[in-house]
Structures are given as structure tokens and as C-alpha cells.
A and B are shown apart, each in its own frame.
Chain A
């Protein structure tokens, strides 16, 4: 049973560019969350999707946007990249809404902005 899969694993972009990261949740999971993990820090919550809608959002600017598809997979888009956006981006999925089911994390996408 595949867990959470993310692509690509590594990415290098130039300041000002745009990037799209992709996530497929664990089989049976329908809720997807995105986190940013800077080097040496804990993951910071970006936003959460359920039923193709953004349900919760952390303290991130509008340059960060997302989408969830009918098959529950998700994308994270970041526009006008800054050097400070360099981080590991983690996708996490859970099997539902309204209960604290716990999260399964992917291995992440390492984004480097130069």
C-alpha cells in the first residue's frame, strides 16, 4: 500500500519564478495538508484541503495557493519565489474530517531558490 507520494523530490528555481509541487495521498485518505519545513525547524502549516476546498490556512501569504482534485491529489503553487521560500515542503494526508485521525507524511520536495 503506497503511502503519501510527492513529486518532484528536488527542485531548483530562480527568484521570481513560479513552482508547482504535487502530492498523492495515502490510499483511503481524503484530506491533504501542506507544510513548509525550513532547515533546522519544525514543519509550519500552510493550508489544508478537504472536498476540493481550502479548509484551514496558516500564516502564509497569498503567493502560496493550492488545489485539490476529485481523486484527492493536491498541488501546492508558489508564485514570485523568494530566497526565503527555500525549504522542504511536506504533504500530509489523513482519512477524514471531524476526527483527529493523525497524519501520514510524504518524504517531501526539497525546493532551492537561487
Chain B
């Protein structure tokens, strides 16, 4: 079946440090890949997406590249801020049947950024 594996957290960084959160996937076929962010007490927000191999998704300084050869979609940011503290979810979606695209989520990685 389809699955997503994320690095375990929490990831603790100082402000302005470089961020990498690893994500790998298993899928039958060619999925779209996503990163969602969840701030405390809120729902999930789409952060970025990539729909085919070698695509790079980017938003708010975050970026991730769809690597088909390594089945990975690692999230990176060059300089994190305290406001980036949240839980980050990697997800994939693929046509399950008849046009239904259901995202499958990883377990989430908590990011804590200290001033």
C-alpha cells in the first residue's frame, strides 16, 4: 500500500539555523507529494506541493524537491524563525479509483525554534 515515513521529532533549532525534515514514501504509481503544517490548536495548512519527479515546491522560504530515484521529498528552509515552530506533515496522494485522490499522511515532525 501507500505510505509516508518522516523523521522522528522533535527537531529543536536556534533561530536562523538551517532546517531539514526528511520524508520518504512508498507508492504504487506516481503520486503527488505535499507538506502540510499544523500550528498549535489549528487544522492543517498546505505548505507546498510537487506533482511530478524533479519538481520543486516552495512557499514562505520552505522548499522540497520530488526525488523519484530516492522516493524522497525532504523539507528544507535556510533560516528558521520562532514563528515556524509547528508540526510538519509529509503526505502523498494518488488516484485511488475513479478520480478519488485521498492524501496519506506521515506521523508528523514537531519543530521547535528557540530565539
- The answer to whether B102 and A33 have CB atoms under 8 Å apart is yes
- The answer to whether B99 and A99 have CB atoms under 8 Å apart is yes
> What is the size category of the interface that chain B forms with chain A?
20 to 34
- The answer to whether A56 and B103 have CB atoms under 8 Å apart is no
Question: What's the dominant secondary structure at chain A's contact region?
Answer: loop
Closest residue to B39 on the A side, CB-wise?
Answer: A107
CA distance A48 to B43 in the complex (A): 18
Q: A48-B100, A97-B99, A97-B100 are in contact. Are A107 and B42 (CB under 8 A)?
A: yes
CA distance A106 to B45 in the complex (A): 9
A65 within 8 A of B: no
The interface of chain B, by Cβ under 8 A from chain A, is 4, 32, 34, 36, 41-46, 49, 51, 89, 91, 93, 95-108
The interface of chain A, by Cβ under 8 A from chain B, is 4, 33, 40-45, 48, 55-56, 58, 90, 92, 97-108
12 A-B contacts (beta carbon < 8 Å): A40-B107, A40-B108, A41-B108, A42-B106, A43-B89, A44-B105, A45-B104, A48-B102, A98-B98, A106-B43, A107-B43, A108-B42
